[in-house]
Amino acid sequence: MSSSPIADISNASPLETAPAVRSTDSSRATLLICLPSLGIDGLQTMQDRIGAALPGQSVVLASPDVLPDNESSTEHLRLVGYPAGPPHASWTLVASDFLTAADLAREHNASALMLLGAEADSLSSAGLQALATCILNQRVDLALPRYKTGPHDALVSSALLYPLTNALFGVGTHLPLPLDAALSLRMAERLAAAARRLGNGAQSTPLVWPAAEASVSSFVVREIEVGERTLPHPGDADLNSLLAEVAGSLFTDIEAKAPFWQRSRSSISAVQASEPVLLGSETEELAEVRAMAESFRSAYLNLQEIWSLVLPPQSLLALKKLSLAPPESFLMPPDLWARVVYDFVLAYHLRTINRGHLLGALTPLYLAWVTSHLRRSAGDAALSSRHVEETASAFSTEKPYVVARWRWPDRFNP
């Protein structure tokens, strides 16, 4: 079996060590920064912050708050509006954002781009500088930020998006669905082409998976720690519809890139499972774990008929045991979660049941992982991070399972 190259991914923490962008080569290159709508004050704040973070750097700052009549220019910074109206305002970067950014980059001859999402004004100067330095000076094609988050933040990414992207595409970025991103021009073109394939023009909101695209193209990917950031709320949509939208989009991308991830082999570094922390009798976590374990028990009783269409008998048996476990010992093993997700990916591909139903049936299982996460992390950031890494490691270890079932789906117990 031939092996395809995996994207060069490394995690850097340049907040303390990053030099200011003062290379003569890079200062000649134009950096396009696309902002969301922040209001006049927010735009002024970002303008000052970018000026301080990137002194001497030629920057084109595109913002929907700038009208065509108000476009201004200083020695290093040009303020421009969006030619085709503001991009789609979403809580994360969507296809139309990448399309608009690529068009603007061509128009302004930019050599690199930074796309900043909603509430980008909460990013620090150091974080902005770290992202810009990486994309301008280090021959990186895609720089994705990693924020300082709490133990109970970005749980869908920790449970599903990061482990799947890491295992299948060999890209260990903790937020594969980025809020902000820095891109080389060729990466921007690649993502614009992917966005175009998804169709529906500039007003569409399909999600694009930059890390997977970069991996398939053998581009260089780097994760940059950028400190704290306010994570935007995804609006009024509920968890079920959002999880279905995000998981469905990722599953579709996985389906489309099956020939790539079936060939590629990523290095597996097993993370030893740590003992779960005993929660105190009056902790908030224990109260939450009790309620969520009870919900899972109810979900198991009601949905086992649907799960049995998707999951093999040993997974169903493990879920049955989990549903009978008392809240104090409720723990979904990472390898069980990995197999369950892989089975759902396969059922999505085979359309075993209606896709809307399939993704709806995943929600209680995801919440079971969240319950285990609460129990394992006990509110501690280090323990939380360890549990996330254990989950990601389990996905890598179980990758042969999904490859085998993808090729021979009729063999229920490979």
Partner 1 sequence: MGQQIKFALLQSTHRVVVVLVRFLPGLLAFLLAVAVLALIGFLLAALIRRLLTATRFDERIKANEKISSPVNFSDWAPSHSPTLLISRVILWVCILAGVAIGISAFDASYSADTQVSLFALPYLTHLLGAILILFAGNLLARFLARSVLIGAVNAQLQYARFLSFGVKWLVLVLTAAMALDHLQIGGTVVELAFGILFGGIVLTLSLAIGLGSRDLVSRSIEKSIEKPLAVRPTEDSPATEVRETPGPKLRHF
State which of residues 45, 70, 298, 329 lies at the interface with partner 1 (CB under 8 A): 298
Regarding 238 and contact with partner 1 (CB under 8 A), the answer is yes
Closest approach of partner 1 to the CB of residue 156, in Å: 5
Among 43, 212, 370, 403, binds partner 1 (CB under 8 A): 370
Is residue 236 within 8 Å of 122, Cβ to Cβ?
Answer: no
SS3 179: coil
413 binds partner 1, rule: CB under 8 A? no
Q: Closest CB to partner 1 among 81 and 232?
A: 232
Residue with tokens 């389906």: 255
Report the distance separating Cα 318 and Cα 313, nearest Å: 9
Q: How many CA atoms lie within 13 A of 344 on its CB side?
A: 27
For 171, the enclosing helix (H) or strand (E) is none
| Comparison of 359 and 402: residue with beta carbon closer to partner 1 | 359
Site for partner 1 in 249-268 (CB under 8 A): 249, 252
Helix (H, G, I), strand (E, B), or coil: what is residue 290?
helix
3-state SS, residue 150: coil
Least distance CB 276 / partner 1 (angstroms) = 16
The one segment of 13-21, 72-80, 115-123, 289-297 that binds partner 1 by CB under 8 A: 289-297
Contact string (CB under 8 A) for partner 1, positions 332-351, x = contact? -------------------x
Pairing of strands 77-80, 30-34: unpaired
Q: List the interface residues with partner 1, window 190-219 (CB under 8 A).
A: 197-200
**Cβ-count burial of 247 within 10 angstroms (0-12 exposed, 13-18 middle, 19+ buried)?**
buried
Residue 299 contacts partner 1 per CB under 8 A: yes
Query: Which 374-403 residues touch partner 1, going by CB under 8 A?
Result: 374, 379
**Binds partner 1 by CB under 8 A, chosen from 40, 84, 193, 237:** 237
* Contact region with partner 1 (CB under 8 A), list: 39-47, 211-219, 228-236, 264-272: 228-236
Which among 31, 9, 6 is positioned nearest to 143, based on CA atoms?
Answer: 9
* Complex with partner 1: residue 8 or 328, whichever CB lies closer: 328
Interatomic CA distance for residues 350 and 265, integer angstroms: 24
CB-based burial label for 19 (10 Å; 0-12, 13-18, 19+): exposed
Shortest approach of partner 1 to residue 218 CB, angstroms? 26
Out of 51, 81, 248, 333, the only residue in the binding site for partner 1 (CB under 8 A) is 248
* CB closer to partner 1, 336 vs 365: 365
Query: Rounded to an integer, what distance in angstroms lies between the CA atom of residue 300 and that of residue 160?
Result: 20
CA distances 311 to 51, 243, 267, 306, 322, Å, are: 54, 19, 27, 9, 15
Find the shortest distance in angstroms from Cβ 92 to partner 1: 8
Q: Please report whether residue 88 would count as binding partner 1 according to CB under 8 A.
A: no
What is the side-by-side strand order in the sheet with 72-73? 9-12, 221-227, 142-147, 180-184, 112-116, 30-34, 58-62, 77-80, 72-73
Q: Is 242 in the site for partner 1 (CB under 8 A)?
A: yes
Residues that bind partner 1 (CB under 8 A): 91-92, 149-150, 152-157, 197-200, 231, 233-246, 248-249, 252, 284-285, 287-288, 291-292, 295, 298-299, 301-303, 306, 351, 353-357, 359-361, 363-364, 367, 370, 374, 379
